[in-house]
A and B are shown apart, each in its own frame.
Chain A
Amino acid sequence: MKKFALNGAGLLVALFAAFPVYWMIATSLKPNREIFSATPRPVPAEPTLEHYREILTGNLIPGVTFADFFLNSALVALATVLLSGLVALLAATAVARFRFRLRTTFLILLLVVQMIPLEALVIPLFLMIQRLGLYNTLPSLILTYLGFSLPFAVWMLRGFVAAVPKELEEAAAIDGASRAQTFRRILFPLVAPGLVATSIFSFITAWNELIFALTFINDQDRYTLPVAMTYFFGRDDTAWGSVMAASTLFTLPVIVFFLLVQRRMVSGLVAGAVKG
């Protein structure tokens, strides 16, 4: 009886958590007459890919396709991942491998900057981007997201670096390897899985971001996917089928990536955290 109640509660929680995601996918597969009928069907009666065809072949905004926005987002996210991965690895190595005077100060700095309300930085970063002549360019976003993802990337990576046994590097040093060589040949390969986990986090940060993309980009053909979605979603008659198809295409990569690294994320998050 007790087990029954527990399982029942479990099912309720599962339903609450997963239902919106299910409903998004289900709606994206329904023809319009099912979507706008007064009686919603729990399962698409006549599943169709027409909405996916619509957004993938048509123009979301005159002259610009879904693929363009997807590409903009992917470019920005990948550049952010590469840059923040490289810089974070160097910093994480410093914190995990060396004891130096400003180490604790630096760790506190990492925690504090993660708490800055990023929305508060829109105005001064807008100003900086204007002055650098980067307004309305994708690099303006890459630069911004680099700053946002870096503190957490360092915080997360330092655990992975610390987990690599120091003896391996010492052995290499005894064999005559220089410091640069030990880093490159011993440390980096062993830290690679952690680097992947961290990269995925940076990717998700950049992929999801809306406000800065909304503020820094003016031309529609340079919109990132979130901005494009907000745009064609704000019209009077929302084309829910297309919106849900676009949302599904936007969400699925994130969910896949997230599930790949969530176990590592949990331990990283409890200590010094940022939420996507």
Chain B
Amino acid sequence: MSLLTKSTGTAAARETPARRRPRVDRLPYLLLLPCLVIIGVLLLWPLGQVVGMSFYKLDSVRQLRGDREWPWVGFANYAQILGDPFFRTVLRNTVLFAAANVVLTMILGTVVGLLLNRLGKRMATFVASCVMLAWATPALTGTIVWKWIFDDTSGLVTWLFNKLPDGLSTALFGRSDWTGYGWFNDPLLFFSILTLVVVWHSFPFIAVSVLAGLKSVPSELQEAARVDGAGPWRVFWSVTFPALRPVFGILVVLSTIWDFKVFTQQFVLAGGTQDRSTFMLSIYSYAEAFSPPPKYGLGASIAVILTLILLVVTGVYVRMVLRQEDES
């Protein structure tokens, strides 16, 4: 059988002697060229630069302009950063924040995806449209609105907490008057609100992706499991989840990458880069580099550390995508 196909193959090749491709086709490379130049110049070259800069002592704009020399300091920036207890706090904040957000986003997104799949058509369309609204809202304005909702005088949350019976509020939180309460002052509270904002922005994507995945799982399987007496929990873990596993894998990795990089929401909620107790890696890097006095070299070394973490996660992601490409 294989011999047969092989021989017909060569026969066909002989009949039409390399008519289409006399030599290596240069056209695809030409078409790719502008794209490669742009990616190279605007993404890869700067990435290399940031690694290079992390080995220099760079602390003035003059050095960036090339008016002053760059003193080479080797791994001094890294030594300084890694030896700084504050960096360890920031790293811990970043990892904990990303972990909490990935878990919450995945759970909420999956539940909403499953829900959308079960709702009647009109209700599903309505809920999906509302969910899309949260997804489409820019990080900037979405965060500004949440900041308004948590405003310490006329914010909705402050009003709600003021509405609690005084006795209950005092028993639970030790205060009954919430007017003027700084919702963003305590780091733990700050991170909780940031989590709320980030989950609000990102669960729609998970929900919609899970829904798309569910539509491709034959519902007969779930029906059959149900007929066999499986409860909803069992149906999910034994039938639905295994079918969706590749989608889940990619979603978890993507969410991890995004949640490690959260910047705009953090920046707007904290009102800039003054509040160091709420720092995570990306804003820490930015603040070190750009808030006066500038320390570009130190900022670069933090950026490199963040990139290295993401590179590991990306490796997992690329493998998953390539495997899916092979299958399809």
Contacts and interface: CB of A to CB of B under 8 A. Distances in A.
Given A13-B112, A244-B148, A119 B261 contact: yes
Interface of A: 3, 6-7, 9-11, 13-18, 20-21, 23-24, 27, 35-40, 87-88, 90-91, 93-95, 97-98, 100, 102-104, 106-109, 111-113, 115-128, 130-131, 143-144, 146-148, 150-151, 154, 179, 204, 207-208, 210-211, 215, 226, 229-230, 233-234, 238, 240, 243-244, 247-248, 250-251, 254-255, 258-259, 262, 266-267, 269-273, 275-276
A115 B313 contact: yes
Contact of A255 (B43, B49, B118, B136): B136
B130 A17 contact: yes
Chain A to chain B: the 5 pairs with minimum beta-carbon distance, closest first: A147-B42, A120-B303, A124-B49, A258-B136, A91-B35
Q: Is the interface of A mostly helix, strand, loop or mixed?
A: helix
A51 B135 CA distance: 26
A207 B50 contact: no
B220 interface: no
Contacts of B282: 117, 119-120
A262 B136 CA distance: 9
24 contacts: A6-B115, A7-B119, A10-B123, A13-B127, A13-B131, A15-B130, A21-B134, A23-B156, A91-B35, A107-B325, A115-B314, A120-B47, A125-B46, A126-B64, A128-B46, A147-B39, A208-B138, A244-B145, A247-B145, A250-B140, A251-B141, A255-B133, A267-B212, A270-B212
A13 B149 contact: no
Contacts of B116: 10
A17 B109 CA distance: 12
A146 B254 contact: no
B99 interface: no
Contacts of A272: 321
B115 A10 contact: yes
User: Which residue of A91, A150, A240 has the most chain B CB atoms within 10 A of its CB atom?
Assistant: A91
A255 B115 CA distance: 23
A18 B313 CA distance: 32
A69 to B, nearest CB: 13
B27 A98 contact: yes
A234 B278 CA distance: 18
B311 A14 contact: no
Contacts of A106: 32, 36
Contact of B260 (A117, A122, A147): A117
Contacts of B29: 94, 100, 102
Contacts of B313: 115
Given A36-B153, A109-B39, A117-B306, 18 more contacts: A10-B124, A13-B112, A17-B200, A18-B134, A23-B148, A91-B36, A100-B25, A111-B318, A115-B257, A120-B285, A120-B303, A121-B47, A123-B299, A127-B64, A251-B141, A258-B132, A266-B212, A267-B212
Interface stretch (B6-14, B235-243, B265-273): B265-273
A146 B141 contact: no
Contact of A262 (B132, B138, B299): B132
A247 B34 contact: no
Nearest to A248: B141
Given A6-B119, A108-B318, A130-B65, A124 B39 contact: no
Contact of A151 (B25, B39, B133, B136): B39
A14 to B, nearest CB: 4
User: Which residue of B141, B151, B261, B307 has the most chain A CB atoms within 10 A of its CB atom?
Assistant: B141
Nearest to A2: B118
A208 B268 CA distance: 13
A119 B31 CA distance: 29
A262 B211 CA distance: 14
A20 B156 CA distance: 11
Contacts of B209: 266, 269-270
B289 A122 contact: yes
B83 interface: no
Given A90-B32, A91-B35, A179-B27, A123 B296 contact: yes
Given A23-B149, A126-B64, A251-B138, A113 B43 contact: yes
Contact of B28 (A94, A122, A131, A154): A94
A17 B303 contact: no
B320 to A, nearest CB: 10
B258 interface: yes
A247 B38 contact: no
B304 interface: yes
